[in-house]
Amino acid sequence: MKRNKKERQKLLQETISNTPFITDEELAEKFNVSIQTIRLDRLELSIPELRERIKHVAEKKLEDEVKSLPLEEVIGDIIDLQLDQTAISMLEIKREHVFSRNQIARGHHLFAQANSLAVALINDELALTTKANIHFTRQVKENERVIAKAKMIKNDTESRRTWVEVNSYVGSEMVFSGEFEMYRSNPKQR
């Protein structure tokens, strides 16, 4: 159903407010207009592009929260973090992440996203990966968005070990799963 510009822009603002990490492509499909129309609407409404929205939310919320590594060393953009509980990051797979001959993402990028998210989740000045059990469940292609979700599953203060489960998705399809055993310098944190 085609809407007039004013109505479409009002719905666009509501949609982005409710789901700030929606892409221009998804918006274009939802409103049955071109991507260029969505970009022009966003420009008129002073709504930044997706990456800027993510960076703004992440930087504002996370600057003082991540303790175990500098925020700029996290692979992907952290979009939610509750220390020692759960965390979510997003990684847009671009040309520099894929093999040139088939546009399939190199596995070390997916591992790095999951591993750095597991480290960032730890509420400690020092968190190191001691062991990881990982599975790649589907190839990821250029221009896909990978959402990694981490949760702490066990904390052993005696051994100073914390176990973090990370599952990564493209849409609703799991593409990577891993369990990371982490060493932390202060076992009393929780």
Report, at the CATH architecture level, how domain 5-47 is classified. Orthogonal Bundle (1.10)
Domain ranges of the chain: 5-47, 63-184
Contact 117, 166 (CB under 8 A): yes
First to last CA, the chain: 51
Q: Name the pTM for this structure.
A: 0.69
| Residue-level pLDDT at 190 | 47
* Of 64, 87, 69, the residue nearest 184 (C-alpha): 69
Given CA atoms 81, 144, 30, 41 in this order, what sign does their dihedral have? positive
Fill in the DSSP letter of residue 75: S
pLDDT in tens, the chain (190 residues): 678 889 999 999 998 888 877 888 899 999 999 999 999 999 888 888 877 776 666 655 555 577 777 667 788 988 888 889 999 999 999 999 999 999 999 999 999 999 999 999 998 888 899 999 999 999 999 999 999 999 999 998 888 999 999 999 999 999 999 999 999 887 655 4
CATH superfamily of 63-184: Hotdog Thioesterase (3.10.129.10)
| Residue-level pLDDT at 63 | 54
| Residue-level pLDDT at 132 | 96
